[in-house]
Amino acid sequence: MKKFFKSLMLISVCLGLSATVNAKTFRYATTGDILGLDPHANNEGPTNTMKGNIYGRMLHRKADLSLEPDLATKWEKLDANTWRFSLRRGVKFHNGNDFNADDVLFSYKRQTQEASDMSFALATIKQINKVDDYTVDLITKGPDPILLLNMPMFYIVDKEWIEANNAFEVVRASGSTNFANVNTNGTGPFKVVEWIQDTRIVLEPFEGYWGKNQIQHNLTKAVFTPISNDATRVAALLSGEIDLMYPVPLQDVKRLNNDPNTEALEGPELRTIFLGYDQWRNESLDMPGSGKNPFKDKRVRQAFHHAININAIKRVVMRNAATPTGLMIAPGINGFQKDMNNRVSYDPDAAKKLLADAGYPNGFPVTFDCPNDRYVNDEEICTAVIPMLERVGIKVTPNFQTKSKHFNKIGKAQSNNTSFFMLGWTPGSYDAL
């Protein structure tokens, strides 16, 4: 099952329409806290959004998703495997240190550690060579036509600061941390002045930001507050405690649109939500001693697709604020092909036959790992899927957790400790690497 969600935001009309005369504190709330401040540790939407305000990258994406210079001012391809980047001069880190090529080489080594969840963005790079203090050559393992698309995910840290605080090693294991995960020193437009985990993050504009003349705002402070409860988050908006919230509880959209002091912003989101299977183990975690992993059989995976009534989920759970899809990426992502966007039909009888043909006429047990505070109606979607699978014989044990525990369980931190899971992503392209 795959979904392409519409993005729903609420923003105070007073904030949205105010002139940039009086300095303001911007107050924003969403369902959960970030996973950490280390730019190389975690690859998760809200976390990436936060660190994008703090850390500079080689390139940046504009509102229309096109690329523009950030810490690299220009680039050229010297040969099939070599890209030369000219670096921006006069850039300061938040602590006053100068940015140069040494920071780029150091950041490459740090981000490509096995523990880094951001290593995928640099997977095609063999090495980076320093030409001079403000020029570097990226040498790829082979021709890479989408290298530039990954540069907005190449975060640059201060070599001197990381080494001085013994924070080179990227830490992602559950319950573990290091200096870089709770402290920051970037080149971005905002700096962190306070982070109380699960309570608030406070940012202030960085007066030494190289591009401050290109950004128009009247902010003196930005406060991010995680509010997991939907009703509490809506009440905070209506009372004026916050200026913007995301996501909007779908059942409240109409009511809030009718309020004269709020405006719901609705549009297509680039994120695709999908259900994934363990296809790598020879024995399922839920079937110890069996020597079998049902999900390695294509017929079983097809059966799950046939068993799930995705249109019912769209209509009832998502209140039509989602679009079923047959692809792993949404329109707007490089590589989307409309003619391939086809899904198998909802057909429980076909699902039962496929399971029987695969050797599971009575189904099999599986643990279903789902977050309950990450995506729009994530827990509700999973709850709807469970009886659909049980109708064709699958014995489902749900495991709902907060996003930090969920991502640790299904990801590298716990060696992909899952058989069946929900996940969402917004890739830069459809490239398999």
Tens-digit pLDDT profile for residues 135-167: 999 999 999 999 999 999 999 999 999 999 999
Lowest mean pLDDT, pick from 14-23, 75-84, 256-265, 314-323: 14-23
- Taking 70 as the threshold, does the pLDDT of residue 308 lie above it? yes
- Specify the pLDDT at position 253: 87
List C-alpha distances in Å: 172 to 403, 409, 424.
14, 11, 19
pTM above 0.85, yes or no: no
Assess if CATH 3.40.50.300 describes domain 269-425. no
Q: Rounded to an integer, what distance in angstroms lies between the CA atom of residue 370 and that of residue 420? A: 9
| pLDDT for 432 beyond 60 | no
Two tokens at 90? 């006069």
81-95, 216-230, 252-266: lowest mean pLDDT where?
Answer: 252-266
Give the burial string for 386-409 (b: 16+ CB within 10 Å, else e).
Answer: eebbeebbbebeebbbbbbbbbbb
Q: What is the DSSP string of 169-221?
A: S---STT---HHHH----SSSEEEEEEETTTEEEEEE-TT-TTGGG----EEE
For residues 126 and 141, the answer to whether their CB atoms sit within 8 Å is: yes
Residue 246 has pLDDT above 70, yes or no: yes
- Amino acid 136 reads V
Residue 176's pLDDT band, with cuts at 50, 70 and 90, is: confident
Which pLDDT tens digit goes with each residue over 217-240? 889 999 999 998 999 999 999 988
- Say whether pLDDT at 5 is over 60: no
Q: Are 24 and 219 in contact (CB under 8 A)?
A: yes
Give the pLDDT of residue 3.
42
**Of 27-36, 131-140, 287-296, minimum mean pLDDT range:** 27-36
Three-class DSSP category at 227: coil
Torsions phi, psi of 12, nearest 5?
-65, 130
CA distance 205 to 222: 9
Q: Which residues contact 284 (CB under 8 A, 6 or more apart)?
A: 278, 290, 292, 293, 294, 295, 364, 366, 419
Is the CA virtual torsion 116, 120, 122, 127 positive or negative? positive
pLDDT band at 420 (very low <50, low <70, confident <90, very high): very high
- Percent of the chain predicted with pLDDT > 90: 69
Per-residue pLDDT, averaged over 244-273, amounts to 86
* CATH tag, 59-162: 3.90.76.10
Average of per-residue pLDDT across 10-22:
34
Query: Which CATH topology does 8-54+164-267 take?
Result: D-Maltodextrin-Binding Protein; domain 2 (3.40.190)
Contact of 351 with 392, CB cutoff 8 Å: yes
In the chain, what are the domain boundaries?
8-54+164-267, 59-162, 269-425
Secondary structure percentages of the chain, helix, strand, coil, to 5: 30, 30, 45
Which pLDDT score is estimated for 56? 98
Record the tokens describing residue 310, joined without a space: 């995705």
Mean pLDDT, all residues of the chain? 90
